[in-house]
Structure 1
Amino acid sequence: MSALDAVLAAGRLAALELQRETITLYRPGDDGFDWDAGTDSPAAATVIYSGPARVKPAAQSRGEEVDAGEANVTLREYTVSVPWGTTVSQLPVVGDVMDVSASPDARMVGLRLWVTGLQYSSTATAWRITVEDRS
């Protein structure tokens, strides 16, 4: 093991200790419409990852107000870190959804976030996903 590998292993262990939230990252299914019944039929979501994560506001995030339909929405950017060695059946894409299901900060439970970007690096201590809160 090289010196760099040893430092990365220690950093990844330390990053894992900071991952105190539990999240579920999923891809919503395509909704359909039942013409006979006249109702929407939501499709099942595909779970991409469920487990520990660190959810923290992005360093430069100050919130941006935008119009969404007839409502004002404030976009806030977060960085979500999941364990570096996480394997998934499919990579997340922009538009996937992330829900916070548990956190030491009870105010974060129920937070819904949308994936806006992914970061990859062989020298990172965690796998980072850029998300936004659209509330």
Structure 2
Amino acid sequence: MSLADALARGRSAAEARMLDRVRLYTQGDDVFDRETGETVPGAQTVLYEGQARVKPVAQASGEDAQAGEREVMLREIEVSLPWSTPLPSGVRVLPGSRVAVLAAEDPRMTGLVLWVTGAQYGSQATAWRLSTEDRS
């Protein structure tokens, strides 16, 4: 079997395990509306929406952090997207991008918003993996 055949089979197997649905996006800065006195979330730019595999990183021990006056636990979660996921021309996924879990086999994950901390690239990978953290 050639390398190309092995990669094709591995990518197909990886996609078969992608039972969750996510939206990968960037979000503009929030804007304060002086008339209503409310903060309006910035505009979202959707980079990808579709199948994915969302799973906690093995042996990740969450890290306590301060967010304003609130204590939060940062948990590492790996999001795998199909290796062939297209991105708009010239766009790279950078830390601070977000992943919203739209649907999941585990319904407790639906509605999670994860913050991208890194993206892994590789021509011999079976999936495109994003390192994220749950900041709740």
Q: TM-score, normalised by structure 1?
A: 0.92
Alpha-carbon shift at residue 42 of structure 1 (Å)? 3.2
Change (3 A) 1:43 1:69: closer
Please report how far the alpha carbon of residue 65 of structure 1 lies from its aligned counterpart in structure 2 after TM superposition: 1.1
1:38 offset after TM fit, Å?
6.0
Aligned to 1:91: 92
**Equivalent position of 2:123 in the other structure:** 122
Amino acid at match of 1:68: A
Give, in whole Å, the separation in 1 of the partners of 2:73 and 2:31. 29
| 1:1-135 → structure 2 map (5 Å cutoff) | 3-35=2-34, 37=35, 39=37, 40-89=39-88, 90-135=91-136
Structure 1 unaligned residues grouped into runs of 5+? none
Identity of aligned residues (%): 50
Mapped to 1, the partners of 2:65 and 2:40 lie a distance apart of 30
Offset, 1:92: 1.4
Query: Please, which moves more after superposition, 55-64 or 25-34?
Result: 25-34
Structure 2: unaligned runs, 5 residues or longer: none
**CA distance in 1: counterparts of 2:70 and 2:86, whole angstroms:** 38
Task: Please give the alpha-carbon distance, in whole angstroms, between the structure 2 residues aligned to 1:42 and 1:74.
Answer: 23
Structure-2 separation of matches of 1:34 and 1:57:
37
- On the 8 A contact 1:67/1:73 being kept in 2, the answer is yes
Task: Kindly tell me the number of residue pairs found equivalent between the two proteins.
Answer: 133
Aligned equivalents of 2:81, 2:32: Cα separation in 1: 36
- The letter of the residue matching 1:128 is R
